[in-house]
Amino acid sequence: MEAAASQALEDASAAGDGPRLGDAEFQFLRKFVLEHCGISLGEHKRQLVQGRLFRRLRALGLKEFGSYCELLRREPHGELGELASVISTNVTSFFREVHHYDLLATELLPRWLEQKRGAGDRLRIWSAGCSTGEEPYALAMVLAEAIDKHGARGVDAKILATDLSPQALETARRGVYPLERLGGLSDEYRRRWMRRGTGEYEGLASVHPRLRELVTIQALNLLHEWPMTGPFDAIFCRNVVIYFEQSTRQRLFQRYARLLPVGGYLFLGHSESLHGINDDFELIGRTVYRKRR
């Protein structure tokens, strides 16, 4: 129902029933979004931006896009997360691009857990651009299974999940999903790692408390300073850089490389590549890279 209402608002704006996004306002938004989010908005995105921002104007009680631009000038950081949520598409699911999780489960985690247990080191995975939480919780399922299978409960293992969108982070922290969003989970994983709601929570499922213990969720703008210093054993940055221009991608991957040890892993989305962008990594599988120097 909510999605239908939102779509109706977008359609109303696109059809001319709402305020129009003028040239000056669109150029300001393009510059603002590129500077603060690293996202490049082409001219062909004007109607999309107009339709999506119309909902935000309604929520703020604003009647014109010019008023929204003034708000961004006055409070750029306060509204940044909301704007990023509006202009980006959060398409995610549990165990999306399952070959990444298979590699973790069958090869990487068994090796890492054995090494960490012997050396007393910690194991860290970063889900950068975690959206509504399906990715980090799926990683936590695989990690918890591996810990139990290999008797590694004593290993300090954690997953950091970050995103810029406040709405996405709210959903991730809540860890409650409609049953139709669990399509990527096997029946066994649903029984083991999800708790079905009853009564007023019928049709919903929440993640197992153990998964919450493994996942730390934080707000982070990838273009700003990062509070963490690493090292991470693996970084998942999937379907994030598709929104960024080339120079932003180059800087981001250089920063990732500094947080990974030699032999650390970087996982990208199915349409993303480091070819011609960064040579710190070698491609070892489908959208799987390993730091080589």
Catalytic annotation, residues:
52, 163
Query: How far is residue 120's CA from residue 122's CA, in Å, rounded to a whole number?
Result: 7
Burial class (CB within 10 angstroms; exposed 0-12, middle 13-18, buried 19+) of 187: exposed
CA pair distance 48, 86, nearest whole angstrom: 10
Distance CA 124, CA 127 (A): 10
Report how far residue 22's alpha carbon sits from residue 3's, in angstroms, rounded to the nearest whole number.
26
Taking alpha carbons only, the member of 34, 79, 77, 31 closest to residue 243 is 34
Here the tokens at position 26 are 């669109």
Contact (Cβ atoms closer than 8 angstroms) between residue 104 and residue 142? yes
